[in-house]
Structure 1
């Protein structure tokens, strides 16, 4: 369910008076308690409806269901409003209480249908059927077009086979920054934060709904920065899962799962290494990204982990070299570094290793600008410096990707942030990932 986007951003009820929204929520609560009383998704999704409709959970007042039912289901003949919210109610009740459970949805629909006048039965049955049969059209019911488009996007999305991407590295390679850049949001702790020995699964959603989900002992469907950055001490499992829409230029509605393993060379906790290695052996991944620190190539720690990968992982591997944006023109060479990495990997035993560069932090800052997030003073200074630096040919990392990938990446030539994102190499890395299937 963490891959499911909410249907609230343009919900038809948002423009109604608070008193009406209260009554509508009363009806939703009735169905949630009757059909999904112990379902965490249903409970938390209903909370999202309350917060979105009323702005504050404390503003919600439980009411008498029978009175609310009459108010919500009564025909409303207002200017330019040709249909009542009875059709929205079908979508909302089933989305909250029975999404993915067709048999339960039938029971909910039958109870809803029993409340309606007979003259509406045929149309509401068509609305229900449209949830599961794409051949059934409800395009003439304007009020539910947004809800139907959301439902269809979610429904078709989960039918895709997910692209599973393992991400592994030693400490200080910039793995968390790379994942934040790929997602386009800060959902992972950076190296300056204390990290725990847990597997972080980050899953994409079909469209942007404005919400970050986190399953970390508790299910939170509107996780703020504090929730995302702080591990729940009551989570005694080895996993944390985050669900959010991956932001990039163009479409990113591919069903992608990132599996982020702990840094394997932690001097403080050998459990990191054990969990990472077990996950690599047990995960049926479509791609393994091995991230290398471009400032510190050829370490003993990398060699040990690479030998483990060579022996135990037999799928597709992409070696990504990070932090090349920190190079100095007269002291370092991106091209020579990549050649050295290829040579080292070949000597270890990897055949024709695929090696690409990336500036994770540059890409992360560029996406913050593109998606209208405010940079703090330090970030702004770093962004300005990187934007200037990566205009220079020797720091344009995109040229090191295959021509077949480069020709698919298009950005605005006059947009500084998009140019930084282009030259960071991240857009090309995304293309490789999204085109795995």
Structure 2
């Protein structure tokens, strides 16, 4: 029994054929037809076996190698199923084809397609930023890990919380040295350095005026695939100098765009309070979205070389401890990568001809541990796909360079391979699809426009009918009655923004209630015990408020985007009412699209409506260190007995004094966010109404152009021939454009 499966990651479409029947059309598997494979891949074989009532068959898979690896991983529980891969063109081939189309468009016969704005939009879609956020608690070796990836000492690294700023390292393989620009809180450039060193970044970290550091240079071991890859070094949750840093970390974790998160853990010191709240946020993000949500979080178990095999300490035992720790926070089946960032950094520095410190020289000469002790081959524990794991093992086998071997054994190349696979599997395919869609809408409009002109030139009866219709459309546009009716409708749309904020409201007050219960767990306790409880509660409240701010910002964005989408759909209906006429004489299908194809696009609309500006969605409550917290003295003096004075605290009174102002401020935050959103929605209405006027101007120009052509009587044959040549070019261009999103089988050379 044979099954043929084809998954297209560009179109996000699955076909599953058995006996000439597409099971994605006729069975319950169809529910996943247009879902990303990684969302439902764990259910593939159980459902397939259930539908076929058989677990013995051969499956041929047509698709990319990373997608095939995901299927191969879930097949291990079905030994009777044989799996074969039919390779297709990979992402690099698609980029080459896209670049060729840009050049073809520049040299083509349509002036409209040579507009610089079209190429800029294409480049924007293709080269949008993709973040890999690196986060950790104190002393986990986060900066060392980043330096190991870069192959040189760039980020300050010492045994304390040394990351005080957000640093964004943009990959640019075309420059030799790293440049850096330091910004203040309001975006002002404070300092620019063209050849930045670790000493410069140490000074940046110590400067309180600096809030953000933008760095540009080569990230040698990560393949960005034409994207603007950004490696983001963020202060850990224990660094409370600036809440906006924590908010940035939370927003990356919660982002719908699913950027990668590299979470660095100190393998020798796990159970700290600092990262518990952050890990719970990670758990929430991983619980939604299937395998992709799991793949985007990499847990680097750093300092793995500090376990001594001779003392019975093992890497596998430490990994079990890390897994249990993460599962206690709600993170199921985490991707844990043991790594020794220090040895990887030291060897790469030496191979790059950089000087080592005395301490680093000591680390370098201790590398024999990785060569002589098989349990310290950290790459063997990495949860990589079989092909990637085999690739690293083959590189080790082929290598005669002990330093190269130790870099692989350090686990750093396994982490880099996982990052590269995620980029290729998810991020790059999305960028290719976005770039094609940017072209498609514009080219389809030209295609319809050209076909309408051809119909006018070829058929006198159609020409007269189109001229009549254009006259009617122009009359309607000039009267403006329907336009005014539509504008009034948009202005009267009722906007219930508060409904979007209800889930956030409920979540925040549940968390505040949990904090209250912890504080009130004992009615009366000693002052020092109350101080410990209060310090923990303060950390939780700070994280809670940062969490609230990121939730509010995300909700505001969602409300605005969904409202814009609603306006756009209303506008399309309105335009169709003006331009659609039933006519037996016009043979061209959907001819009215020639007038309306580029009427408006939601993402383009939001891109022009949005502006970068710090907005206040509320205010943040933090404990004032000058304010004394609630205390309650209860000394008793009894004659003939001496008692020690002990300071007690009433936890009921303390929790009320501590939490009531916070609850009030949280309510104000949400209220302010709703007010801000409503104001932004009104602004969006005004912007969209102005957009209608602009679009109607374009529509009038097109109607005039079609009218002139329809009323023309001379040189028709010459124009018709020119139009036919243009149509041939368009057909060829559109075929090539559509083929980019198709899976083309690759020839396999058999040796």
Identify the TM-score tier after normalising by the shorter chain. 0.5 to 0.7
Taking a change above 3 Å as real, the CA distance of residues 156 and 327 of structure 1, as seen in their structure-2 partners, is farther
405, 418, 424: which one aligns with 2:388: 405
The 2-side partners of 1:242 and 1:158 are apart by 22
Contact (CA 8 Å) 1:201, 1:240: kept in 2 or not? yes
Partner in structure 1 of residue 580 of structure 2:
none
Q: CA RMSD in A?
A: 3.1
Computing the radius of gyration over CA atoms, which structure comes out larger, 1 or 2? 2
State the secondary structure of the residue aligned to 2:220. Answer: coil
Contact (CA 8 Å) 2:204, 2:210: kept in 1 or not? no
Partner in structure 2 of residue 40 of structure 1:
none
Contact (CA 8 Å) 1:281, 1:312: kept in 2 or not? no
168, 179, 188: which one aligns with 1:201: 168
Deviation at 1:179, TM superposition (A): 0.6
Query: What whole-Å deviation, never above 9, does each CA across 1:228-263 have from its counterpart, x for those lacking one?
Result: 332077773521111111234x96776421111112
Partner in structure 2 of residue 257 of structure 1:
230
The 2-side partners of 1:334 and 1:326 are apart by 10
Partner in structure 1 of residue 732 of structure 2:
none
Taking a change above 3 Å as real, the CA distance of residues 308 and 432 of structure 1, as seen in their structure-2 partners, is same
Unmatched tracts of structure 1, length 5 or more:
1-129, 138-154
Partner in structure 2 of residue 327 of structure 1:
307
Contact (CA 8 Å) 2:156, 2:162: kept in 1 or not? yes
The 2-side partners of 1:291 and 1:354 are apart by 12
140, 165, 181: which one aligns with 2:132: 165
Contact (CA 8 Å) 2:133, 2:231: kept in 1 or not? yes
**1:425-436 to 2 correspondences below 5 Å:** 425-436=411-422
Unmatched tracts of structure 2, length 5 or more:
1-99, 108-121, 183-189, 424-751
Partner in structure 2 of residue 345 of structure 1:
326
Partner in structure 2 of residue 378 of structure 1:
359
**1:28-427 to 2 correspondences below 5 Å:** 133=103, 159-192=126-159, 195=162, 197-207=164-174, 209-216=175-182, 217-231=190-204, 236=209, 238-248=211-221, 255=227, 256-266=229-239, 270-271=240-241, 274-283=243-252, 284=255, 285-311=258-284, 315=293, 316-329=296-309, 330-401=311-382, 402=384, 403-409=386-392, 410-411=395-396, 412-427=398-413
Taking a change above 3 Å as real, the CA distance of residues 275 and 328 of structure 1, as seen in their structure-2 partners, is farther
Contact (CA 8 Å) 1:206, 1:253: kept in 2 or not? no
State the secondary structure of the residue aligned to 2:168. Answer: strand
The 2-side partners of 1:254 and 1:419 are apart by 29
Taking a change above 3 Å as real, the CA distance of residues 343 and 212 of structure 1, as seen in their structure-2 partners, is same
Deviation at 1:391, TM superposition (A): 3.8
Query: What whole-Å deviation, never above 9, does each CA across 1:138-162 have from its counterpart, x for those lacking one?
Result: xxxxxxxxxxxxxxxxx98994444
The 2-side partners of 1:423 and 1:236 are apart by 41
Which structure's residues are more often helix, by fraction? 2
User: Please, what TM-score do these two structures have when normalized by structure 1?
Assistant: 0.58
The 2-side partners of 1:374 and 1:253 are apart by 32
Contact (CA 8 Å) 2:302, 2:341: kept in 1 or not? yes
State the secondary structure of the residue aligned to 2:138. Answer: coil
Contact (CA 8 Å) 1:325, 1:359: kept in 2 or not? yes
The 2-side partners of 1:312 and 1:277 are apart by 16
User: Please, what TM-score do these two structures have when normalized by structure 2?
Assistant: 0.35
Contact (CA 8 Å) 1:204, 1:253: kept in 2 or not? no
Contact (CA 8 Å) 1:387, 1:416: kept in 2 or not? no
State the secondary structure of the residue aligned to 1:436. Answer: helix
Contact (CA 8 Å) 2:237, 2:278: kept in 1 or not? yes
Query: What whole-Å deviation, never above 9, does each CA across 1:291-318 have from its counterpart, x for those lacking one?
Result: 1100112333333431243346764311
Taking a change above 3 Å as real, the CA distance of residues 390 and 426 of structure 1, as seen in their structure-2 partners, is same
Query: What whole-Å deviation, never above 9, does each CA across 1:364-389 have from its counterpart, x for those lacking one?
Result: 01211222223233212211102444
Taking a change above 3 Å as real, the CA distance of residues 214 and 325 of structure 1, as seen in their structure-2 partners, is same
Taking a change above 3 Å as real, the CA distance of residues 419 and 252 of structure 1, as seen in their structure-2 partners, is farther
The 2-side partners of 1:424 and 1:413 are apart by 15
Contact (CA 8 Å) 2:298, 2:335: kept in 1 or not? yes
Query: What whole-Å deviation, never above 9, does each CA across 1:255-274 have from its counterpart, x for those lacking one?
Result: 421111112224xxx225x3
State the secondary structure of the residue aligned to 2:131. Answer: strand
What is the aligned length? 284
The 1-side partners of 2:400 and 2:204 are apart by 41
State the secondary structure of the residue aligned to 2:391. Answer: coil
Contact (CA 8 Å) 2:181, 2:214: kept in 1 or not? yes
The 1-side partners of 2:151 and 2:261 are apart by 20
